[in-house]
Structure 1
């Protein structure tokens, strides 16, 4: 087995170990949430017998350790459990029991979130790389200073503030885009893009700043290297020096920051989805926390953690592939 294969397998093992530890934290934290689903469903006038019966039907009367290992075993078999709220609805209405599956609820919502993340990444990554390269090329110029002020302002502003500012200017004062992203199954691609564009622009303002500043810093850090000086002495244009010589050697930190921001697009969309009423996994997560739907909350947290760990793992592997010195640390 080669050195690269050993490094990749080692990273995979650490990723799985981290996900296992995170699953324990998720289960413990979710089950420590105040309130009780049975009490919330039945209301304040519920009798202790009725609450006990519902808790027994849902398995909430079992010890936490037993419930955790049962949940972990189900997850390993691809079963994220049954939604408490939907199971209660099915029992009262007699509707299709498959709708009570957590996987059936999360699937379409996760697809919507991935679509939003994809649109944001398609805008943010090229824009941030271009701005970072130009800021490095014209460092200490008016363009560089304006770009730094803009990125620092966007980093310092919370997502909901940026969202409301965009709604004010692009949906209220100038009705160019809809303020609510009420997308649904069967919607055409063009209409879906139009409904998704405003939350995507909000997320773009947040993540572009990090990627642009890291690109600028990584390139400037390499401009004093001997091989860059040699390329300049050969008469190459500054743009060609940066694109052909500095940028390829600065890929490792840039890949890391891009992966971290892509992970944020999946795990940090909760606030943006709530503001725009976007039917993604973040909105489902908030709604499930309100009604104490423990299986859905646990599944959402596990998906967030899994996406974050997977993208960090991917960034680590791509950094190793792009930089031979990381494959041979000695």
Structure 2
């Protein structure tokens, strides 16, 4: 299959998925218990004020009419205003999205060297004490829940060895150094959690490639072991790891809720939890939509890179 045709199909499926997510998000939030206007005005609100607020929010309209209006607003990028702060939802989500992007960049800067370095060491020293020790450490890290691992790292570097801030709270007034210091603890936690899985994938893939016939032939032709590893084995072993990397990126933009709560980091996960606790419907809708969009784009990108690096898959 030509690469352009594959990308076109994946984009079409992605657009359809976003539309389905839009529909699901609206009806799920619309069916939540309680009345939004009553939650805003508090208990025992004045009936007149309640009626005016319901009309201003469009809650007096039929459900399908509200959905049509909301759907068109979403397509034009109008996410409304927060029911709690009164600020535009776009600015609230944009700030959290930027923070999650910074965290993602930091994690990837730790994640890739950690994954590649450990996987290569284990692959070239397979079934040795080094391989066994690193595999055991990875298994221990994988068995520790995210919140517990984050808490242990927090205690170590913020309490026992107080070299980093215990809270990773940042805002627009934070300096670059403050932002970097705030990223270290949650970034290391996420990199360890996801890196151990990716290391295992890359290790096993490297071992398979290093034992393949064409690698043996390259060795017989006198090609050096370093060249065999980095030029022949490593690129072919990367394909299975791309799926794990895709999950890592999507995890960072929506699934890293627990880690963000432990370190009080103001990312997308923290925003989603806070808006759910406050029943801030417009923020909930926009956050879920952005998280779904990042997930879909990540999958399209990884699938495209997989086909690019492994042309044999295009023939299937």
TM-score w.r.t. structure 1 length?
0.89
| 2:5 alignment counterpart | 6
Does the aligned pair in 1 maintain the 2:104–2:252 contact within 8 Å? Answer: yes
Q: CA deviation at 1:187?
A: 2.5
Larger CA deviation: 40-49 vs 209-218: 40-49
Select 1:110's aligned residue among 86, 93, 97: 97
For 1:154-303, list aligned pairs within 5 A: 154-303=141-290
Q: CA deviation at 1:44?
A: 2.7
| SS of equivalent residue, structure 1 residue 27 | helix
| 2:60 alignment counterpart | 61
| SS of equivalent residue, structure 1 residue 84 | coil
| 1:142 alignment counterpart | 129
Does the aligned pair in 2 maintain the 1:137–1:238 contact within 8 Å? Answer: no
Does the aligned pair in 2 maintain the 1:259–1:312 contact within 8 Å? Answer: yes
Provide the C-alpha distance between the structure 2 equivalents of 1:128 and 1:297, rounded to a whole number of angstroms.
Answer: 34
Aligned length in residues: 316
| SS of equivalent residue, structure 1 residue 181 | coil
Are residues 1:19 and 2:18 paired?
yes
- Residue 188 and residue 63 in structure 1: after superposition, are their counterparts in 2 closer, same or farther (change >3 A)? same
Q: Report the aligned-residue RMSD.
A: 1.9
Does the aligned pair in 1 maintain the 2:254–2:268 contact within 8 Å? Answer: no
- Residue 289 and residue 226 in structure 1: after superposition, are their counterparts in 2 closer, same or farther (change >3 A)? same
Q: Which consecutive unaligned segments of at least 5 residues does structure 2 have? A: none
| SS of equivalent residue, structure 1 residue 85 | coil
Does the aligned pair in 2 maintain the 1:38–1:51 contact within 8 Å? Answer: yes
Q: CA deviation at 1:222?
A: 1.9
| 1:92 alignment counterpart | none
Provide the C-alpha distance between the structure 2 equivalents of 1:191 and 1:138, rounded to a whole number of angstroms.
Answer: 40
- Residue 49 and residue 228 in structure 1: after superposition, are their counterparts in 2 closer, same or farther (change >3 A)? same
Does the aligned pair in 2 maintain the 1:125–1:258 contact within 8 Å? Answer: no
Q: CA deviation at 1:236?
A: 4.1
Q: Which consecutive unaligned segments of at least 5 residues does structure 1 have? A: 88-99
In the TM superposition, what whole-angstrom CA distance separates every residue of 1:126-185 from its partner, at most 9, and x where no partner exists? 211211121111111222222222222222322211111011111111101111012121
For 1:14-93, list aligned pairs within 5 A: 14-47=13-46, 50-87=49-86
Provide the C-alpha distance between the structure 1 equivalents of 2:294 and 2:256, rounded to a whole number of angstroms.
Answer: 13
Q: CA deviation at 1:115?
A: 0.6
Does the aligned pair in 2 maintain the 1:35–1:292 contact within 8 Å? Answer: no
| SS of equivalent residue, structure 1 residue 46 | coil
Q: CA deviation at 1:227?
A: 0.4
Provide the C-alpha distance between the structure 1 equivalents of 2:93 and 2:3, rounded to a whole number of angstroms.
Answer: 36
Does the aligned pair in 2 maintain the 1:137–1:239 contact within 8 Å? Answer: no
TM-score w.r.t. structure 2 length?
0.93
